Structure 1
């Protein structure tokens, strides 16, 4: 621990000697200023706030003892003094004792004797500092306990009421800033706040509900946002901006005895952080007191839209459904807890698609989102980040299902084509084919298009017309019989498909062959 010291002497050589001959740093002191008389010393003591002043007693304008007396009478803090005097100045030393000054250095200063005396002074200052710290900590903890009683409506004792009345009077207005942190960083961010508020007057940190703490602060409403307490809160907001943190301030009260109302209104305000564009912005109750959340939301439409996109393995459709939902949540100002429950429900529904698959990658993905969902209820999240988790969950699941079905399709496409060749004369549809091979009809249609170069319907029509051509060349059956034989229940459809592929009617084809 290092303490600040001011040296005062009207003789430049003596002043320089004290600086050079004594190892102040080794003794635990840091010279913060030097002066040449008592009047100048008074000004420096007020400005530099030293822990120790070493002063000559016999100086012009104002001697050392006059300076000490003036400070002890009008000064705003305790300062330790050591006087410097000669053997012939015993009267000065005797007068110094009347001021409570117990330490002095004799001129000419002996280095060893001076350092021994200053070591004693250092220990006295250190003990006094530690005693004050213990007293301050005890007082601070007592105050925090009383403030928490006010917040939780626990009735204080008569003696506690007296303390609270005295405390309430040191500031014109009181309020509470509520800070809600993401559970993994709560301890770290609470400690950051505690360090920032340390040794500040009229501002206190109290622990509240799970992963929340409050900052009770007094301020001068005439200064408004320029008040020191507000500046501290803004500084904390900037420090927290890169973390998942919500902050809010309740309605100001003229007395600490209404602190519970500050807390209640801060809780009302903090919920509105959910729709903010960034974390740690301080939400003031006065700015949102007239805002009302809505509780009703058409979940069915959202669920149907997302389920439809998942069934079709349609990433863009899924993204559009999620983005549309985010817009409607924001525009309607749906209660954040309802939004969170809807999103968690949707993520569990999406993961059901994964559970129908298999493989190491599927297990890894399930583990990832199970871990995320286990902490999502308590997580501090903006709407955009919450919807981001939903988007990622859907994208990852669709991509995984695409890969899975792609692997399956590589070995099955030949089998599917063989099945079509064996059943094209029947009323074969893509839906029927999907049921046989346990593939989604849209995915199956895309797969056949990619592998065969033509659509499922075109492939079936080609096979039917190809067989029809063989029958027409033999010229043993009527055109309508051939149409029915190759799979057409409607002759008009057969005629249309034949002309499309052969460039002529079935009769023209017969005549030419």
Structure 2
């Protein structure tokens, strides 16, 4: 509620205003009152006030003096003047100070209530514009940080944008951490972390990953601090699954973008390293060395195969390499499993340049099958099954990562109120751009896709349940039955009742 403070040297006026106006009706509450300007100013310095209702002629400090001083406490303060003086000089000075209205005593209740309505409307609009501004700034910050950490912004533009947005990128070292989680409030936890801790920046990238950037002065001390802060965030997520990976610490004057790439890569080793708190790229390098540096694998050929989505070529490479490796001196099943795990991890990493979220369970399922294999043939089959499924997924679904996440969100929440604006805020993409991208990837507008999906769900309910039509409409996201009928007939060619009657 908006907070109101009343000032008048006549107590019966104050008492009357308390009683005669239904303040809650206008979204307001009285938080205090005073009988002179000086007393009012002292109280307003400790009590937040949105609207000041004040007399003009008062002892100690006049109403006009109070307005001028109170605006120093709150520049956005709204003021309504009550006065027994029909004096143009007072009115002129009040207008200069930006008052909402100048009401003469005895107070006309209707005129006062109309003033309260217009004042709240103005404040509501101002707050909405402020939120939109904050949203736009948030989108801009995310865009600038992503372009910076992927080296896609010119130095001059970066300098200008960083100064405008208050981004401190001036420390000598940088380390990126990637956080993946199903825990919805994780985003607010990371925003809070960035706001409260110096040298910490946060955004979500195009893959939907949470990216936390730590600007560092002393790599050893500040890395330990970063780990501690991320562990605190983990503690806020209770028992929810959370995977944290740390990139390399890089010099800002060197290959600082590698830290982001290394944090991405380290995420893929989460299942392998059996390190529940976090995965450090330092450990990943050691694991890669253990797995296959001693054995000759032509990784670029695998990269070409995955880029071409050529299952046959990849199968030939797998058969050839494992046939050679299995006959090498000193080879053991454990080493072969390590090489197989390294292989599927590298293939998953190749998706960075193709489609990062394709076959989201490829790594977890394939690694599990590899570790459970009881023979070399079973191991090879596990690798080929996983790679084959990955290629099939790429060939059948070439949508962008963001659109895939949006489609998944629709499937889970189609019965809720969905909009491009809300989804754009969730995924940090401007709603206009998101609308264009959605249409490009699906061939339908966002609204058309939502309606078609909801009508398909409604058809299933009409076929398989005895639910009433109006209940079905609400269960799939239509609160107006008339609009549901209109959309159903548009997509099906029949009314819901006629459709059910044909079954």
With the shorter chain as reference, the TM-score category is 0.3 to 0.5
Give the structure with higher Rg (CA): 1
Give the TM-score normalised by structure 1.
0.47
Give the TM-score normalised by structure 2.
0.47
